[in-house]
């Protein structure tokens, strides 16, 4: 089961239009579990929802976590609940931090790209790289000035020499082809933001090696959901040898739960990585937004909330 800890909402700050940060601390003043740049936490809300939010503060900080939450009026309810219900002094439950957007600290130079609320993990990376003395450039793209979060921190003397801010209504879309076209040796690229921005960065870096360009998705796209030609298949539980049938209209996760086998999960969209499960045999149809192309080819794990099978059966490490 996912380890839960209780934290106190110590401070809140409106950073931009519909974007608010929450500072979370231990109620007893103790240090919190450590994290690395790019990490996120699950937030377990009192209304039963579970949502994932990236940490924006420096990994060196041991007494607090800071998350940025963009209120989505027509979303699934998690961000609206936080904005409308949670107050300073409240205690909430969260998971310990985990990281599917790990910063490779061995590179010589870095290009960081954040779009909108996607700046949150990118900001943590910038702070870490600054502390390491690594050269980096941070490009922050927003629709307009009113939607630009963390500007007070991005304009600080510590980070401002590394930051370029681009507003769509003033400068137009970020010119990714110009910024990231030719392959640069010993450079790592990290990008988080809206699908349009990340697609543009992917297009601009199509000739770059896979292990030099990294993305984190805040929401799933059409590739993670059911498809018209989905078929049925079987899953085999390694520990018992039990064989379970997965029909075309149900997920592996649903079938596991229907049979009393419970796997930790949160987003059910393939974006958080909570339900990652070992794959021992079979060829998976990976539909998550977590695994890299190389990891999908290795075929050693899958996200049971959304992935399916290309082969007749999958043997799961359960």
pLDDT digits (tens, 9 = 90+) for 29-74: 999 999 999 999 999 998 888 899 999 999 999 999 999 999 988 7
Which residues have a Cβ under 8 Å from the Cβ of 132 and sit 6 or more positions away?
105
> Tokens 């700046």, residue?
119
Predicted TM-score (pTM) of the model is 0.84
Backbone phi, psi, residue 272, to 5°: -105, -25
Residues of the chain with pLDDT under 70: 1, 219-224
Write out the E strands in 128-275.
136-142, 163-167, 187-192, 213-216, 233-237, 243-246
What is the C-alpha separation between 121 and 282, in angstroms, rounded?
A: 34
* Cα–Cα nearest to 142, from 58, 19, 289: 19
What is the C-alpha separation between 120 and 52, in angstroms, rounded?
A: 12
Kindly list the structural domains of the chain, giving each domain's residue range(s) and its CATH number in brackets, ordered by start: 4-95 (2.40.30.10), 109-216 (3.40.50.80), 224-316 (3.10.20.30)
Backbone phi, psi, residue 113, to 5°: -130, 120
> Tokens 């049938």, residue?
245
Query: Which tokens in the block code for residue 309?
Result: 């099978």
SS3 label, residue 307: coil
Is the C-alpha dihedral spanning 25, 150, 34, 31 positive or negative? Answer: negative
Residue 7 pairs in a beta bridge with 92
Express each pLDDT in 282-315 by its tens digit: 999 999 988 888 889 999 999 999 999 999 999 9
SS3 label, residue 68: strand
Backbone phi, psi, residue 103, to 5°: -85, 120
CB atoms within 10 A of CB 66: 22
pLDDT at 94: 96
* Cα–Cα nearest to 176, from 164, 159, 161: 164
* Cα–Cα nearest to 13, from 72, 52, 68: 68
User: Edge-to-edge strand order for the sheet containing 4-16?
Assistant: 50-54, 40-44, 91-95, 4-16, 19-25, 65-70
């Amino acid at each position: 089961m996912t380890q839960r800890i209780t934290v106190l909402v110590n401070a809140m700050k409106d950073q931009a239009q519909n974007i608010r940060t929450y500072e979370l601390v231990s109620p007893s003043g103790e240090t919190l579990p450590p994290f690395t740049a790019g990490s996120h936490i699950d937030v377990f809300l009192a209304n039963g929802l579970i949502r994932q939010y990236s940490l924006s503060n420096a990994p060196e900080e041991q007494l607090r976590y800071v998350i940025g939450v963009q209120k989505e009026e027509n979303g699934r309810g998690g961000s609206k609940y936080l904005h409308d219900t949670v107050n300073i002094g409240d205690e909430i439950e969260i998971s310990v931090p985990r990281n599917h957007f790990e910063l490779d600290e061995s590179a010589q130079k870095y290009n960081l790209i954040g779009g909108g609320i996607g700046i949150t993990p990118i900001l943590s990376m910038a702070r870490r790289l600054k502390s390491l003395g690594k050269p980096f450039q941070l490009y922050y793209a927003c629709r307009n000035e009113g939607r630009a979060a963390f500007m007070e921190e991005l304009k600080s003397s510590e980070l401002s020499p590394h930051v370029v801010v681009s507003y769509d209504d003033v400068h137009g879309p970020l010119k990714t082809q110009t910024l990231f076209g030719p392959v640069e040796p010993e450079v790592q690229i990290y990008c988080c933001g809206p699908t349009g921005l990340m697609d543009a960065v992917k297009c601009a870096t199509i000739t770059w090696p896979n292990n030099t360009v990294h993305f984190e998705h805040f929401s799933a796209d059409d590739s993670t959901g059911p498809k018209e030609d989905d078929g049925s298949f079987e899953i085999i539980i390694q520990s018992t040898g039990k064989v379970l049938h997965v029909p075309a209209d149900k997920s592996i996760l649903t079938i596991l739960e229907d049979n009393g086998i419970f796997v930790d999960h949160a987003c059910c969209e393939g974006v958080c990585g909570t339900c990652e499960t070992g794959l021992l045999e079979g060829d998976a149809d990976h539909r998550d937004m977590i695994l890299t192309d190389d990891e999908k080819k290795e075929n050693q794990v899958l996200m049971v909330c959304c992935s399916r099978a290309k082969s007749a059966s999958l043997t799961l490490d359960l």
